[in-house]
Amino acid sequence: MVFKELIATEYKTIQDEICKALELADGGSKFEEELWEREGGGGGRTRVFQNGNVMEKGGVNFSSVYGKLPDSVRKAFKVDSEDFFATGVSIVIHPKNPFVPIIHMNIRYFEMDEQTRWFGGGIDLTPHYVIDTDVRFFHHLLKKTCNKFSPDFYPQFKKQADDYFFIKHREETRGVGGIFYDRLKPENTGLSFDDIFKFSLEVGRTFAPIYTELIDRNREQPFTEVEQEWQSVRRSRYAEFNLVYDSGTKFGLETNGRIESILMSLPPMAKWIYNFQPKENSPEAYTNSKLIKGINWV
């Protein structure tokens, strides 16, 4: 089997595993699947979850696409070749309960030729309310995953997550970070492509144990209209980042991707309240105080 076809097959398996774990954790609705084809080459499986017991909206998407890169993307990637292949799994979950966090994961592989190919991805957490023990648990498992392959991965990828998931016009991070990496290849990791592939799969398989635990910890927490409104405000920040800065959204739009799959990451409901300021010493103010780069969670 060609290397890129093997990657796509394994990513589809990751998608299956995560969907089963999330359906079990939610205990209510099932994912709806839509198979689609991309004009220009390839396609994917979009799986969306709506109005479950825990998840108000969520998606676990797989894609494997190929074709010609637009000039704008070639310039951004600083490559000369036009032909590309890309495959990956992308996940965003927006829960009902404000005490269950939003979570995002992406694992992906991009190839133009034998010399121009790499892996990217990561997992990051966006709590509506920062609960320190939950965030430490989240970062601890990510560090454990990274350490299986290199002690340098977690500190490097954590910093890259802090820098990437930063809403510049708000001067705040989207959430409490996680890990983010791009263009991983033997030249910049000291690992073989096979080992980098194994790392990508390990990141994918870290998702379900992390998120199902965070669901179980917080799904029964009672909440008020005030806390629900704060959830809507935090969701609006999530939407701002994805529409203004997210490279995956831009790549999908510029390569004629499927719009429903690309915008799956947006929350079902959000609010933009003019000049909203949380009350001093409130849980909302505490959460705002943690939306900064460089916090050591482990």
Domains and CATH numbers, the chain: 3-289 (3.40.1500.10)
Bridge partners of 49?
58
Active site positions, annotated: 104
Among the listed residues 39, 36, 44, 41, the one whose alpha carbon sits nearest the alpha carbon of residue 60:
44
One DSSP character per residue, 64-75 reads EEEEE--HHHHH
- Check if the beta carbon of residue 110 is closer than 8 Å to that of residue 86: yes
Query: How far is 140 from 142, CA to CA, in rounded Å?
Result: 5
Copy the structure tokens of residue 38: 């991309």
Among the listed residues 43, 44, 42, the one whose alpha carbon sits nearest the alpha carbon of residue 59:
44
Q: Encode the chain (298 residues) as per-residue pLDDT tens digits.
A: 569 999 999 999 999 999 999 999 999 889 999 999 988 899 999 999 999 999 999 999 999 999 988 777 777 777 777 889 999 999 999 999 999 999 999 999 999 887 789 999 999 999 999 999 999 999 999 999 999 999 999 999 999 999 999 999 999 999 999 999 999 999 999 999 999 999 999 999 999 999 999 999 999 999 999 999 999 999 999 999 999 999 888 878 887 777 887 888 899 999 999 999 999 999 999 999 999 999 999 9
Bridge partners of 107?
89, 121
